[in-house]
Structure 1
């Protein structure tokens, strides 16, 4: 039993577990979409991309844990926090201040350059103001919380592992 406890303290194992959580969250979002009928708004899709980016970095951290994994995870995490914060802000607007609904993300990607699509999505639209809840909490609030927890754990694991290894 002590061997298992020691092994799960290794940054590579923690990175693997956190990567699995990131990918599981994206899978849950897909289930909510396909089975639960919750159509994602463009900001939701971008938040999924942030989780995927975090997961990919954390997978790489299974091979080479350390400061770079912590930094890259935090960058993806901060992007996700910004997206979730913007999403929550749109959801908090009074009905008369909600922006008009825009075209879907598929249409935008087919018509506009990627940089303009990003600008349009970040400006928000009416469908992003709709509030879908899981266990009584809005989905962007859950993602905001989750970005913070995963990012914090990734930083702690990868920087602690670095100090434990003698500062390599």
Structure 2
């Protein structure tokens, strides 16, 4: 293989990595759009855990879009690694919400919304309250194929993390 052939293969791989990163960002935007549709058209109000998952989607979308747009392999690898971590965090929150839906607490409370918690309590007290969930987080308002929004969110976050890890492996292999 000549040097020109090697450079051409590396350039093609870099282009594929950028396209996949952009696709990941669009995937997140599609999920965010569907969440907004469920909220504003169907009328399902998001619970605090749903809002945290939205922020995780925004984080993955921004990191993936930056990875697609910015030059430099090291920058791209760092951004995709960050997106994998944020997707893992989103999967954790979605798994916790799924658990709350499967095994609701004995005492149902309405609780405050996410913004109300942040405004009324110090952050170190509000964050555990958000993840503890409330009656709203245990509500199952919508299902498709027998899975709730939280279940679908978990599956999507796991798939996003897997895509990020595959991109990282491809970038590392490209280096060697």
TM-score in same-fold range (> 0.5): yes
Compare 12-21 and 152-161 and name the one that shifted more: 152-161
Matched, 1:145 2:155: yes
2:128 is aligned, of 119, 125, 129, to: 119
Q: Structure 1 unaligned runs (5+)?
A: 1-5
Determine the structure 2 residue equivalent to 1:13. Answer: 19
Aligned length: 160
Q: Distance in 2 between matches of 1:9 and 1:149?
A: 21
Q: Structure 2 unaligned runs (5+)?
A: 1-11
Matched, 1:49 2:63: no
- Tell me how far 1:7 sits from its aligned partner: 7.6
Determine the structure 2 residue equivalent to 1:97. Answer: 106
Matches within 5 A, 1:24-43: 24-43=30-49
- TM-score with structure 1 setting the length: 0.85
Contact 2:29–2:61 (8 Å) recurs in 1: yes
- TM-score with structure 2 setting the length: 0.82
Question: What do you get for the CA RMSD once the two structures are aligned?
Answer: 2.0
Q: Which has the higher contact order (CA 8 A, sep 6+)?
A: 1
Runs of 4+ with deviation above 6 angstroms = none
Larger Rg, first or second structure (1 or 2)? 2
1:128 is aligned, of 137, 148, 151, to: 137
Q: Distance in 2 between matches of 1:7 and 1:28?
A: 31
